[in-house]
Amino acid sequence: MVRYYCPYCNPKYQFQRQSSKGNLICGLCGEDLVKKPFIRLNQIIALVAASSLLLPLIYTFIFIIKNQINPPNKNYQANGTLMIISKETI
């Protein structure tokens, strides 16, 4: 469904009228109506901005969940450093 709108008038009070030529014009100012695009450019920009904020958050969540399910083996390294420290102190 293609919707038409007048770029000059308030969308609340717009109504369509057919001119003598047969094309749709604005009922208030008489300008030719413009086709409303399915996805506007500012919608795409907003989507990119929102995803740039949300994607790192989602990635962090996935990383945290992955670490909780399969935690990295840090105990060995911790013991190794402890051994070195204890050897140096003794």
Given the rule CB under 5 A, which residues bind Zn ion?
A: 6, 8-9, 26, 28-29
Query: CA 6, 27, 42 angle in degrees (round to 5)?
Result: 10
Residue with Cβ nearer Zn ion (30 or 80): 30
Residue with Cβ nearer Zn ion (29 or 83): 29
For 88, the 3-state DSSP assignment is: helix
Q: How far is the CB of 31 from Zn ion (least distance, A)?
A: 5
φ/ψ (deg, to 5) at 21: -75, -20
Q: How far is the CB of 14 from Zn ion (least distance, A)?
A: 6
